[in-house]
């Protein structure tokens, strides 16, 4: 496989940014026109397109075909002690289940977007959508069946649409909801995880493990193919933008059972250091690089780490952009905007 199949190659750069964004708008219109179940069936999909919880016209191509951005299905790890492949400030998804601690560097997730793994005996999908800076972790077991996830090559509201290889149902990565196909309406269960720096993970988990490439030559790991994205504007997105806030401002979103999620700006948390609401404790610390800033991820500007707990226990949360939070939760006020 080559890096040219990834929609990462279409991202705007600081050089020629205006031209790239104009091209992106053209691609968005073209892709929207192709949102056709007949065409998708001709691509080989066996998905039941008559079952859907979203307007299929909102689904568009992100560029690559199915699995053009290849998931990692047989992950390889090294132990934290002695691992020298990451800078201390590099962002990782930190996950710990039943004493099994693992770090998933964004330098790898950027190119693969999904890791199918088993952590602490629990089948999980560790995911990352660079266009949304969204990195939720889900349990892969649904109604007693363990699913394996891949990338569809499709987007909705600029967000990755995953599919499971058992039923070819399409799932929204940001919400974990099955939106098209046999399992429409099902929800993947979120697993508490941390979007943190490698240095922080290594210090907290000295006996943990870190994901390494199956094949180092497969991608230019460590390079950011989305240079300048988090300081430009949403890409392949034609939805409504939030008012009174930069659409690319980072926000922290915390799901709440039976209620609207709590959404607060990262800037609010950075200024406060420690902040609380609704029984949730937020702690912000410096030292984590943006994966969507400069050409090399470890040189990205410091955007900090947020930890969210309730009664001292980690809770699921995500760090995304304001436009994403607004797209999926348009009626929810963003605190601090």
Q: Mind listing the pLDDT tens digit of every residue in the chain (337 residues)?
A: 333 334 443 434 433 333 344 334 444 444 444 568 999 999 999 999 999 999 999 999 999 999 999 999 999 999 999 899 999 999 999 999 999 999 999 999 999 999 999 999 999 999 999 999 999 999 999 999 999 999 999 999 999 999 999 999 999 999 999 999 999 999 999 999 999 999 999 999 999 999 999 999 999 999 999 999 999 999 999 999 999 999 999 999 999 987 899 999 999 999 999 999 999 999 999 999 999 999 999 999 999 999 999 999 999 999 999 999 999 999 999 999 8
The pLDDT, as a whole number, for residue 35 is: 66
Question: Which among 90, 333, 93, 103 is positioned nearest to 210, based on CA atoms?
Answer: 103
What the block records as the tokens of 308 is 């969210």
The pLDDT, as a whole number, for residue 312 is: 97
What the block records as the tokens of 300 is 């990205």
C-alpha 276/C-alpha 279 separation (Å) is: 7
Say how many C-beta atoms besides its own lie within 10 A of residue 288's C-beta: 25
296-301: Cβ within 8 A, 24+ apart: 296/222, 296/223, 296/224, 297/90, 297/91, 297/106, 297/107, 297/110, 297/222, 297/223, 297/224, 298/86, 298/87, 298/89, 298/90, 298/222, 300/224
């Amino acid at each position: 496989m080559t890096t040219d199949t990834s929609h990462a190659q279409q991202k705007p750069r600081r050089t020629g940014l205006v031209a790239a964004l104009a091209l992106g708008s053209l691609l968005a219109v073209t892709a929207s026109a192709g949102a056709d179940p007949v065409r998708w069936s001709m691509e080989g999909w066996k998905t039941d397109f008559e079952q859907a919880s979203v307007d299929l016209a909102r689904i568009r191509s992100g560029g690559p075909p199915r699995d053009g951005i290849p998931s990692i299905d047989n992950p390889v790890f090294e132990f934290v002690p002695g691992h020298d492949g990451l800078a201390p400030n590099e962002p990782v998804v930190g996950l710990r289940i039943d004493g099994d601690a693992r770090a998933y560097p964004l330098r790898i997730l950027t190119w693969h977007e999904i890791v199918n793994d088993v952590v602490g005996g629990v089948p999980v999908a560790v995911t990352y959508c660079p266009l949304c800076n969204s990195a939720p972790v889900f349990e892969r077991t649904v109604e007693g069946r363990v699913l394996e996830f891949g990338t569809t090559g499709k987007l909705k509201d600029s967000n990755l649409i995953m599919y499971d290889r058992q039923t070819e149902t399409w799932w929204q990565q940001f919400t974990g909801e099955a939106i098209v196909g046999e399992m429409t309406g099902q929800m993947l269960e979120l697993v508490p995880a941390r979007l943190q720096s490698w240095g922080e993970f290594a210090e907290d988990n000295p006996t943990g493990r870190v994901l390494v490439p199956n094949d180092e030559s497969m991608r230019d790991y460590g390079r950011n193919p989305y240079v300048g994205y988090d300081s430009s504007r949403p890409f392949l997105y034609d939805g409504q933008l939030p008012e009174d806030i930069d659409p690319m401002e980072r926000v922290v979103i915390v799901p709440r059972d039976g209620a609207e999620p709590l959404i607060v700006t990262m800037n609010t948390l950075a200024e406060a250091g420690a902040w609380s609401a609704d029984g949730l404790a937020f702690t912000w610390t410096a030292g984590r690089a943006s994966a969507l800033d400069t050409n090399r991820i470890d040189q990205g500007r410091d955007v900090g780490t947020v930890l969210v707990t309730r009664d001292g226990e980690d809770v699921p949360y995500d760090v995304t952009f304001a436009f994403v939070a607004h797209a999926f939760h348009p009626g929810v006020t963003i605190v601090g905007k």
